[in-house]
């Protein structure tokens, strides 16, 4: 059963403080292509004092509004906070929201030379209405159809050019139309030719298209939808292990990392049977963006040369930390290093 595997995996991960610092120092300056669906996260903050007389809904008296980088752009922001150099490869609308998005990128000094602009698609915007620490409503503006062939061809050519100086590639797939099977095949083939690792945070539409990648990171729901498998509740280790083996057999994936919410993460490489890295006890306020943080830390940790179990352990810590914050926020590197030392240092 799952809990026996949790105990075994936890005891296997021990690092010196020097090794932990070496891992995180190795992130500095790494060039990461982030390919996927970007979005503008809009937050309306306010207070609820009464119910509307017009309908049984709360009236929110807003006191502030904030824009943040979302989707694949939140991955880029996490990477920057970790010391890497992200380059976003995506499509923006030629609209006001796109201009706001670009301004946020420039404020963060994140490269924009992998972006293309469309006059027929809007910039994806997710607006969240929040009272205190509770999200009351989300409003989405988007076009999730596949981008047109001309834009896709232009985007692929930009990606191939940028690959020349990349250390790792991340596919951040939100099923909003930027990523297609054709794009995946062309980019992964070229990256493998150059021995550049490819990490994937998938969604349902292209789930089975990510062949021959280095790291594949679905969550349990994405795994269920992608493989059309139903899991028991609570989920058992054997079920997850079987699903991971199906992925390996069909997609020839080197490493699989499956996030399991409060249970932690399942991890398996080409040689191992897999194990579970347990979640740490948290005051969870908001899971938004946690997957972005996990894939960011995992992709950079892969480059440091540590075991896949250590990669999973550090990514698991990072995902839990951002769940303690409200809204989509990037990881705090100093906080993550401190937790890594507290949880995995041999001196403790």
> What pairing do the DSSP bridges indicate for beta strands 38-51 and 125-131?
parallel
d(CA 274, CA 324): 28
88 strand-pairing partners = 34
Question: Does residue 129 contact residue 46 with C-beta atoms inside 8 Å?
Answer: yes
Ramachandran region of residue 137, left (φ > 0), alpha (ψ -120 to 50) or beta? beta
User: Which tokens is 206 given?
Assistant: 């292209």
- Encoded tokens for 248: 């390996």
In angstroms, how far is CA 295 from the centroid of its own chain? 4
Q: Does residue 340 have a cis bond before it (omega within 30 degrees)?
A: no
Given a contact cutoff of 8 angstroms between Cβ atoms, the answer to whether 105 and 86 are in contact is no
- Give the pair of three-digit tokens for residue 338: 């401190």
| Residue 249 appears among annotated catalytic residues | no
Residue 146 and residue 151: Cα distance in Å, rounded? 10
Q: Distance of alpha carbon 58 from its chain centroid, rounded?
A: 32
For residue 15, the 8-state DSSP code is B
Report residue 301 as tokens: 């940790």
Taking the CA atoms of 111, 173, 316 and 139 in sequence, report the sign of the dihedral they define. Answer: positive
Instruction: Round to whole Å and give the CA distance between 181 and 191.
Output: 15
Catalytic position from the list 41, 151, 292, 332: 292
Length of the chain as a residue count: 348
CA distance 182 to 150: 13
Q: Say whether 12 sits in a helix, a strand or coil.
A: helix
Checking DSSP bridges between strand 215-216 and strand 255-259, what pairing results, if any?
Answer: parallel
Q: Which residues are catalytic?
A: 292
């Amino acid at each position: 059963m799952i809990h026996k595997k949790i105990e075994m995996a936890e005891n296997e991960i021990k690092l010196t403080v020097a090794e932990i610092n070496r891992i995180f120092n190795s992130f500095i300056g790494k060039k990461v292509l982030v390919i996927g669906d970007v979005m503008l996260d809009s937050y309306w903050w306010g207070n609820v004092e009464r119910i509307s007389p017009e309908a049984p809904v709360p009236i929110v008296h807003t006191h502030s509004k904030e824009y943040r980088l979302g989707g694949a752009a939140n991955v880029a922001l996490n990477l920057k906070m970790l010391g890497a150099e992200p380059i976003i490869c995506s499509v923006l609308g030629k609209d006001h929201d796109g201009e706001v998005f670009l301004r946020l990128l420039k404020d963060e000094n994140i490269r924009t030379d992998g972006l293309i602009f469309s006059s027929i698609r809007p910039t994806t915007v997710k607006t969240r209405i929040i009272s205190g620490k509770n999200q009351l409503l989300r409003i989405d503006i988007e076009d999730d159809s596949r981008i047109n062939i001309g834009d896709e061809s232009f985007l692929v050519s930009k990606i191939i050019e940028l690959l020349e100086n990349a250390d790792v590639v991340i596919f951040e797939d939100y099923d909003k139309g930027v990523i297609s099977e054709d794009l995946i095949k062309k980019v992964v083939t070229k990256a493998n030719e150059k021995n550049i690792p490819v990490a994937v945070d998938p969604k349902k539409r292209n789930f089975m298209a990510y062949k021959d990648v280095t790291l594949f990171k679905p969550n349990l729901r994405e795994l269920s939808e992608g493989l059309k498998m139903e899991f028991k509740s609570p989920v058992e280790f054997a079920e997850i292990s079987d699903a991971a083996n199906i992925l390996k057999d069909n997609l020839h994936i080197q490493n699989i990392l499956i996030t399991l919410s409060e249970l932690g993460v399942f991890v398996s490489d080409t040689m191992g049977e897999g194990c579970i890295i347990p979640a740490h006890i948290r005051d969870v306020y908001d899971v938004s963006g946690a997957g972005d943080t996990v894939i960011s830390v995992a992709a950079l940790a892969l480059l440091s040369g540590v075991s896949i179990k250590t990669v999973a352990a550090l990514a698991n810590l990072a995902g839990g930390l951002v769940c303690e914050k409200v809204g989509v926020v990037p990881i705090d590197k100093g906080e993550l290093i401190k937790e890594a030392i507290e949880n995995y240092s041999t001196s403790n």
